[in-house]
């Protein structure tokens, strides 16, 4: 059995796929399996996949089902002691597997996270996860806020996921956040590798830059996270802070939404949710270090709408 399973969901990623796969087959740590799952691509992704002759690659071709279901399929197929997720338009450093595996096995971790780079059209921007000592969420509740909720700059013990039946949400956008939250909740020991081991690519067609009606899914995702953590009373303050941070982030991001009706309706629904479920949300600690102008905009439905409208007009 391989030590590490790397799960790669693939959908119309031919432009980026070679760089992704090359970063995996050239890992300095050899005891891996690379699970490539073609989620109904209609471009040249399959041609690229089949051009590789590496016995560690396991290739699966499915009809289009979405990234959540595709990642869950990969989890079911994984044989490794540890799991990693790499998106098909991203890539990892050549020593990522070695450094993650060594750190996790030496420290008996269930989950490890690393710093990472944003690759914005070839320009690298460092993203630092706040340093912390190995701990569980109950021992360090700040981990809920300090660790990013994307799945890809992390390594997981496979038993953490399979024994607790942790799955990605299917048929919703932003499906990765509840998955990571559940892993943080169930992990007995979480640690951080203080190196930049993965590269998160942002381009014109990435999930980060696409704005459509699926933005409303984030409200359901927040509901799921709050439901998952409802029995963790020690986290109540952090859960409210996380709720405010997520919804505030996405309301302000509506400056990129060109459809005014969708933009305003989403902002209205987010503020309605905050007023209903986060008591005194305007006094939430999340805003403490946001600065006067940001704070003024983010706390107000009126000013958020005004800011997004003006941004659409002037693109300042």
Q: Hey, what are 305's tokens?
A: 């709408």
What pLDDT, on the 0 to 100 scale, is given for residue 240?
97
What pLDDT, on the 0 to 100 scale, is given for residue 121?
87
Count the neighbouring beta carbons within 10 Å of the beta carbon of residue 42: 9
What pLDDT, on the 0 to 100 scale, is given for residue 273?
97
What pLDDT, on the 0 to 100 scale, is given for residue 313?
85
pLDDT at 193 over 80: yes
What pLDDT, on the 0 to 100 scale, is given for residue 122?
86
HSE (CB half, 13 Å, CA atoms) of 148? 15
What pLDDT, on the 0 to 100 scale, is given for residue 296?
96
Total domains in the fold of the chain: 2
DSSP 209: T
Buried b (16+ CB within 10 A) or exposed e, 258-273: eeeebbbebbebbbeb
- Candidates 83, 69, 214; CA nearest to 157 is 83
Same domain, 217 and 191: no
| Model pLDDT for residues 47-104, shown as the tens digit of each residue | 999 999 999 999 999 999 999 999 999 999 999 999 999 999 999 999 999 999 999 9
Same domain, 176 and 70: yes
**57-62 and 32-39 strand pairing:** parallel
Please say whether the dihedral angle defined by the alpha carbons of residues 40, 174, 122 and 252, taken in this order, is positive or negative: positive
What whole-number distance in Å separates Cα of residue 127 and Cα of residue 80? Answer: 28
**82-85 and 4-10 strand pairing:** parallel
- Candidates 242, 244, 256, 156; CA nearest to 202 is 256
What whole-number distance in Å separates Cα of residue 306 and Cα of residue 21? Answer: 44
What pLDDT, on the 0 to 100 scale, is given for residue 204?
63
Give residue 314's pLDDT band: very low, low, confident or very high (50, 70, 90): confident
Same domain, 128 and 178: yes
Same domain, 153 and 236: no
Asked, for residue 152, whether it belongs to a domain, the answer is yes
Rounded to the nearest 5 degrees, what angle is found at the Cα of 245, between the Cα atoms of 239 and 250?
Answer: 130
- pLDDT, average across residues 260-271: 96
- Using only the alpha carbons of the chain, give its radius of gyration: 20
Same domain, 197 and 217: no
Same domain, 190 and 111: yes
Asked, for residue 121, whether it belongs to a domain, the answer is yes
Q: Which of 168, 202, 236 is the last residue of a domain?
A: 202
Asked if 29 contacts 97 with a C-beta cutoff of 8 angstroms, the reply is yes
Q: Which of 176, 202, 228 is the last residue of a domain?
A: 202
Same domain, 36 and 136: yes
Three-state DSSP string of 111-161 = EEEEEEEEEECCEEEEECCCCCCCECCCCCCCHHHHCCCCCCCEEEEHHHH
Same domain, 288 and 220: yes
Asked, for residue 10, whether it belongs to a domain, the answer is yes
Same domain, 291 and 223: yes
pLDDT at 205 over 60: no
Same domain, 179 and 251: no
Q: What angle, rounded to 10 degrees, do the helices at 236-252 and 292-299 form?
A: 90
Asked, for residue 208, whether it belongs to a domain, the answer is no
Count the neighbouring beta carbons within 10 Å of the beta carbon of residue 90: 25
Report the Cα 53 to chain-centroid distance in Å: 30
Same domain, 226 and 173: no
pLDDT at 209 over 50: no
Give the CATH number, domain containing residue 122: 3.90.550.10
Specify the pTM: 0.93
What pLDDT, on the 0 to 100 scale, is given for residue 316?
53
Q: Which of 158, 180, 202 is the last residue of a domain?
A: 202
Q: Hey, what are 85's tokens?
A: 């997720």
Same domain, 237 and 174: no
- pLDDT, average across residues 165-184: 96
Residues spanned by the domain of 165: 4-202
Percentage of the chain modeled with pLDDT above 70: 97
- pLDDT, average across residues 139-166: 97
pLDDT at 229 over 90: yes
């Amino acid at each position: 059995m391989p030590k590490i399973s790397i799960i790669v969901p693939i959908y119309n990623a031919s432009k980026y796929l070679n760089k992704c796969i090359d970063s995996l087959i050239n890992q300095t740590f050899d005891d891996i399996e690379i699970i490539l799952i073609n989620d109904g691509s209609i471009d040249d992704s399959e041609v690229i996949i089949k051009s590789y002759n590496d016995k560690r690659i396991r290739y699966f071709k499915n009809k289009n089902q979405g990234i959540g279901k595709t990642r869950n399929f990969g989890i079911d197929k994984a044989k490794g002691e540890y799991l990693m997720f790499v998106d098909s338009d991203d890539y990892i450093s050549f020593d990522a597997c070695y450094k993650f595996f060594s750190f996790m096995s030496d420290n008996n971790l269930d989950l490890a996270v690393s710093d990472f780079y944003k690759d914005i059209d070839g320009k690298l921007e460092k993203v630092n996860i706040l340093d912390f000592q190995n701990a569980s969420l109950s021992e360090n509740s700040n981990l809920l806020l300090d660790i990013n909720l994307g799945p890809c700059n992390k390594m997981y013990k496979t038993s953490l996921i399979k024994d607790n039946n942790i799955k990605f949400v299917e048929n919703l956008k932003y499906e990765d956040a509840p998955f990571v939250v559940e892993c943080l909740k169930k992990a007995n020991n979480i640690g951080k590798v203080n190196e930049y081991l993965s590269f998160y690519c942002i381009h014109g067609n990435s999930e980060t830059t696409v704005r459509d009606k699926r933005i409303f899914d984030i409200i359901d995702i927040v509901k799921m996270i709050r439901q998952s953590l409802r029995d963790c009373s020690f986290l109540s303050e952090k859960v409210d802070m996380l709720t405010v941070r997520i919804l505030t982030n996405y309301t302000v991001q509506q400056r990129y939404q060109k459809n005014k009706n969708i933009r305003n309706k989403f902002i209205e629904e987010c503020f309605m949710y905050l007023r209903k479920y986060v008591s005194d949300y305007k006094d939430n600690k999340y805003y403490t270090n946001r600065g006067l102008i940001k704070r003024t905009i983010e706390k107000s439905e009126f000013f958020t709408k005004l800011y997004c409208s003006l941004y659409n007009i002037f693109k300042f």
